[in-house]
Amino acid sequence: MGATAAGLAGVAASALGPAARAEAATGATSGRLGRRFAGKVVLITGATSGIGEATARAFAREGAKVGFCGRREALGRQVEKEIRKAGGTATYIRADVRVADQVKAFVDRVAALYGRLDIAFNNAGIGVAKPPHLISVEEWDDVHHTNARGVFLAIKYEVPHMLRTGGGVIICTSSAATEVTRSTQAAYASSKRAVQGIVKASALAYGGSGIRVNAILPGVTDTAFTRPPGIPDAAWEEFKKAFGPLNIDGLQRMAEPREIADAVLGLASDEFAYMTGASVPVDGGLTAGREMDLPPGTPASGL
């Protein structure tokens, strides 16, 4: 399911910090671009950092022409510059996925710029971590407008371009939080569950026209979405070492953004030509379950 070695090296560096990002941007880790998605046009929402950024880099390294959006213009221009410097093709366009006119303009511009639309990764998302009674109505609406309405709008405007060219692939970011949530994730988890409903309905609506639609459910991933602001690098690395074994019984670590990107590239490839309407966990075993903590002295049993 993963990208080629060249793609892996490039997106791995993008997740590690300034020095590694510079190495990835210059292509020093691989020396050449891959061609897995040569000739394909890829659109990504929410790609100025994190999973979206890693996926934009991975598709570009594999030969795709990438159009991506986000609200943070300085970051978007930097990602665009680094991808181009590495020999890839990418264009950043500022757009807010909550605003219908901006989403349509973004999708139409990418299709016009590169001549078609083959693959879309609808990834933009936000969250608020509060118990339900402390979430303001404005916060609730903002999370749902970004995460669920944003996916709906993207698909609404992507599909006509794919219908004109005989098909395509759409992948949407849901979350493992839809399966194993927490008391502070009412807004986030419900919005991401809505994404899965949109994906299933869209898969049924457009499968006969050659458009596959699937969702990925990332687990805890080392991005700015997860990392508290202002925490020093050394302290964050120590936190991650402790966090994994305590919270993720499977692989016992957080994901790197490149690992989620690998899953997206896999689902976008012809290797998964018969998969549609699926929600695929990429979570290190987070949703597989938890080992039980039994009281000391409990006799051996089938628990």
Contact between residue 44 and residue 56 where contact means Cβ atoms under 8 Å apart: yes
Q: How far apart are CA 133 and CA 19, in angstroms?
A: 43
Length of the chain counted residue by residue: 303
Q: How far apart are CA 23 and CA 85, in angstroms?
A: 11
**Structure-block tokens of residue 71:** 């609200």
Question: Any residues with CB less than 8 A from the CB of 259 and at least 6 apart, and which?
Answer: 221, 282
Contact between residue 118 and residue 42 where contact means Cβ atoms under 8 Å apart: yes
Catalytic residue among 157, 188, 206, 274: 188
| Angle in degrees, 0-180, between the axes of helices 18-26 and 73-85, rounded to the nearest 10 | 50
List the Cα angle 157/67/46 in 5-degree steps.
75
- DSSP H/E element including 45: strand 41-45
Task: Say how far residue 119 (Cα) sits from the centre of its chain.
Answer: 13
274 is catalytic: no
Q: How far apart are CA 10 and CA 35, in angstroms?
A: 14
Q: Which residues are catalytic?
A: 188
